[in-house]
Structure formats: structure tokens, C-alpha cells
Amino acid sequence: MKIVVLAGGLSPERNVSLSSGVKICQTLRDLGHQAAFVDMYLGLDIGTEDPFRMPLPQQAAQVAKKAPDLEQVKAARTLGGNSMFGPGVLSLCTQADVVFLALHGSCGEDGRVQAALDLMGIPYTGSGHLGSAIAMDKDLTKRVVAPLGVITPNWETVHYSREEIPGLLDRLELPCVVKPVASGSSIGVSIARDREELRQALELGLDQGGRCVIEQYISGREIQVGILEDRALPSIEIIPKEGFYDYENKYQPGAAREICPAPIPPEWEERVAQAALTVFHALGLCVYSRADFIVTEDGTPWFLEINTLPGMTPTSLVPQEAQVIGLDYGALCERIIEASLEARKAGM
């Protein structure tokens, strides 16, 4: 098949996306496909060699410790322009049998790219535009799934300015978690246990736009569940060596222990799998995803969020879960492509 792997983009999760894209593209080439790796935002240089034969940027394979400076990324696009699609990107996508979305975060996981490809009749991997848009919004996701019996921490969503921070400090209950309403990879997420930590968390939230979910802090075990074609994969437990499962602990090798299958009782596994599937179906998702939970001592799964384009980096979780059921990385990529093509045919 002819496959364009879209990665990069203009999101704080850009570096994660590039790492996923390099690994996906190399794997597809090893499987005999014609695969092109394309940075969605920077695009293709005029007169470039055949993108299906270009060497991959191996320096992007490992995720850097810090999120990228997006102003520097913008400056690197010498032709300028405000489009999220760089030069030649959409033209190349029209030549592909399918576009493999290795994008993460607000530039690629929020439904806008999916909608653009839908309008052009270009098949792509993962969920459709509507489900992707809902799942990216943590507040909206909770509003949809909480009435269905999915247990989620109490929350409120605030849209604030710097001048409003003192008032929030006075009234918000501690401990709490402050997270931007539409971001991933734990970028901008903070756990606040006292007023000073809360002030710092709210100031950090301003850097992500000042619209944040303030969520009840739940103490427990971090359990995540991948879904592949309407089936819950074996859960995985995350145990950071220090702190919580933040951006650095997610993507730096050895920063966290990841145990799959998670060492939890079968009845806990059933509860967390059922909760993940309920969210998946309620949002109208398809093909694959990953849901994140905190499981408390009594086995209660507290749903946090769901990711419609989960990471495919060397340290990512869904590939580890798939491995447990006998799907290696290459087989997982093939399954994602096949299921996605069926979903697009079905109008999903």
C-alpha cells in the first residue's frame, strides 16, 4: 500500500508525534509498504526527492525531555502562512491509499484534521472527526460519560485570567489536579496540595490558554486500558520512579515501571475494561484508543480521560498491551490500518 504517515504538526505534543511517526513509518517500510513520513506543519520542500524513499529523521525517534518551543517551529517554516498543513502535504495525501495519523494533541487529535481529510475523501486511521473532537475536550467527555455510570472525579471547568487567580485560590478545594481542558501527554498538568502549589498550577495553566479542568484528586494506582476494534486490551499499571506520570516520565526510558498485564484482581480488570468500553462507545469512537484511570483500594476505576490517537513511540503503552495478546508492533499497525479502512467505508 501507499501510506502517508502524518506527524509533527503544531502542538505541544509535537515531539511525541514525531517519535511515533518515525517508528510507524519505519515499521510500515519494513513490512513492504511504500510509506512517506511527513511533518504536517513544515510540509515538503519544493523539488524534494520522492517522499516515499526519503530517509527518516532518526534524531526525532527519541522524545526530548521538554516540550518544543512552538514559536521556533513556526519560524522554521520559511514559506510562512497560517495553514496547519505545510506545503505539499494535502497533495501528497491524495496520492495515498490511507493516511496514518501519528499526530497527538490539539493539532491532529481534536477532529480538525480528520474533518479536512473527510471533506477531501482521503481515508485515515483512527476515530472520525466528531468523536475525536469530543474526546479531546476533557470537560465535554466527562459530561457525556458521567450520566452513564462511569465514575469520574468531581470537576469544574474554569476559564480565567491572571487577575482572577486570587479568587480561585480562595475557593478551590485541595488537593486537586489542574489540567488544560484540551491537551495531552500531561503537558500543563499539576497536582496541587497546598495554596502555593495551586497558584503555580493555575499560572502554568495560563500558558495553555487559561481554560482548565479543576479535578478532585484521587489517590490510587494508575491503570490504563487500550481498546482495539471494540475489544479491551490487557490493562497496564504505571509506577513512576518519582512524582506522577508527567511528560518526562511518559517518554524517557526507565522513568517509570510499566507492568502489563496490570497485577490486579480479575474483577478489577473487568470493571476497568467495561468502563473504558463504555466511554469508547459513548463518544462514538472506533478502531483504537487508550483510556486512563486511577483505581482505588476498593477496586473502583475512576476515569480520567481517553486518547483517540494514543502514542506509538518506543515507550508507548498500547503497543505493550497489544504485545501481550500476541500482536507485535507491525501487526498492530496493520490491524489499525485495516480497521480504519473498514470504518471509513462505513462512514465512521
The pLDDT value recorded for residue 245 is 44
Q: Show the domain range for 120.
A: 2-124
Pair (183, 312) in one structural domain: no
Segment 153-179 mean pLDDT: 93
The runs of H, that is alpha helices, within the chain are 14-30, 70-76, 89-93, 112-120, 129-136, 138-145, 165-171, 195-207, 247-251, 266-282, 317-324, 329-345
> Helix, strand, coil proportions of the chain in percent (round to 5)?
35, 20, 45
Pair (116, 252) in one structural domain: no
The pLDDT value recorded for residue 254 is 61
- CATH number of the structural domain spanning residue 48: 3.40.50.20
Pair (31, 61) in one structural domain: yes
Segment 319-332 mean pLDDT: 96
pLDDT tens digits, one per residue of 188-208: 788 999 999 999 999 988 877
Phi-psi group of 164: left, alpha or beta (phi > 0 → left; psi -120 to 50 → alpha; rest → beta): alpha
Segment 96-101 mean pLDDT: 98
Pair (278, 337) in one structural domain: yes
Question: Rounded distance, CA 47 to CA 304, Å?
Answer: 46
Pair (114, 180) in one structural domain: no
Q: Is 307 exposed, middle or buried (0-12, 13-18, 19+ CB in 10 A)?
A: buried
Collect all residues with Cβ–Cβ distance below 8 Å to 71 and sequence separation of at least 6.
none
Number of domains present in the structure of the chain: 3
Place of cell 484521587: 218
Pair (284, 159) in one structural domain: no
Place of cell 499499571: 237
The pLDDT value recorded for residue 247 is 46
Comparing CA positions, the residue from 65, 91, 80, 85 lying closest to residue 10 is 85
CB 214 within 8 A of CB 158: yes
CB 20 within 8 A of CB 37: no
Pair (227, 298) in one structural domain: yes
Pair (115, 141) in one structural domain: no
Go through the chain and tell me how many residues it has.
348
pTM: 0.91
Domain assignment present for 129? no
pLDDT tens digits, one per residue of 53-75: 888 988 877 877 777 888 888 88
Single-letter residue type at 256: A
Domain assignment present for 206? yes
- CATH number of the structural domain spanning residue 169: 3.30.1490.20
Average confidence score pLDDT of the chain: 91
Segment 104-118 mean pLDDT: 92
Q: Is 252 exposed, middle or buried (0-12, 13-18, 19+ CB in 10 A)?
A: middle
Domain assignment present for 83? yes
The pLDDT value recorded for residue 61 is 78
